Homo-oligomer: A and B are copies of this chain.
Amino acid sequence: MSETIDLLRRRVADLHQELVRYGLVVWTAGNVSARVPGEDLLVIKPSGVSYDELTPQNMILCDLDGNVVEGEHLPSSDTAAHAYVYRHRPDVGGVVHTHSTYASAWAARGEPVPCVLTAMADEFGAEIPIGPFALIGDDSIGRGIVETLAGHRSPAVLMKSHGVFTIGKDAEAAVKAAVMCEDVARTVHVSRQLGEPLPLAQDDIDRLNFRYQNVYGQRPAAQ
């Protein structure tokens, strides 16, 4: 198992650089975590450490109550929210949190991003929904994420007045959802600045989403 954890430490450390590359985070804000498959454990970013200094070694190993199992630093202050998601969504293997600009701008108005782009139908299959306003410090944020995404196709939720949480089968999928969330939040914002984007028919959204989730990319066997 320690080999799996070492690989996850590297994977989670590296994925944080994708948040930097796509401009989703500033300073020490934002975090990525991954569930240790088959274990009640997660790997997450340390709290308040610069993105330049993130290494596989300083990632924190926690149990699913957010207690540190291995690590010299404190874990991300959002660890409780990540842990709550893993406890209540066994299908989720990765969680990401950012305050990316455009997504957070929609969140600040408490307004979902309408599904008006084919790329949004592909990745989100619906509007990106708004979760409740919740203070850090207990299970409120985690519960808000889980309740909002229950039965929703979208892997992203805009927590009111706060920012974005995304989920995925693994950490990479959750990072991809965070990147796509900001991208479509920005494009739809820009589009609405000069008028109303055309609606997509529900049937078209359904077909695009089905195809993308089942056909797009490389077949596992091909990689």
* Interface residue ranges, A against B (CB under 8 Å): 22, 26-29, 46-49, 72-74, 77, 99, 101-102, 104-106, 108-111, 116-119, 133, 135-137, 160-163, 176, 179-180, 183, 186-198, 200, 204, 207-208, 211, 215-219, 222-223
Q: How far is the CA of A133 from the CA of B191 in the complex (A)?
A: 16
Give A101 to B127 CA distance when docked, in angstroms.
18
Q: Which chain B residues lie closer than 8 Å to A179 at the CB level?
A: 26-27
Selected contact of A163 from candidates B28, B49, B119, B135, CB within 8 Å:
B119
Q: Are A183 and B77 in contact (CB under 8 A)?
A: no
Contacts of A198 in B (CB 8 A): 108-110, 133, 160-161
What is the distance, in angstroms, from A169's C-beta to the closest C-beta of chain B? 15
A-B CB proximity, top 5 nearest: A48-B217, A105-B191, A105-B190, A108-B197, A108-B191
Name the B residues within 8 Å of A196 (CB-CB): 109
The answer to whether A101 and B190 touch (CB under 8 A), given A109-B195, A117-B162, is yes
Do the beta carbons of B109 and A197 come within 8 Å of each other?
Answer: yes
Pair A216/B104 contact, Cβ less than 8 Å: no
Question: Given A116-B108, A161-B118, A200-B161, A222 and B191 touching (CB < 8 A)?
Answer: no
| Cβ of A170 to closest chain B Cβ, rounded Å | 15
Query: Are B27 and A176 in contact, CB atoms less than 8 angstroms apart?
Result: yes
Q: In the complex, how many angstroms separate the beta carbon of A63 from the nearest chain B beta carbon?
A: 19
Most buried by B among A49, A72, A119: A119
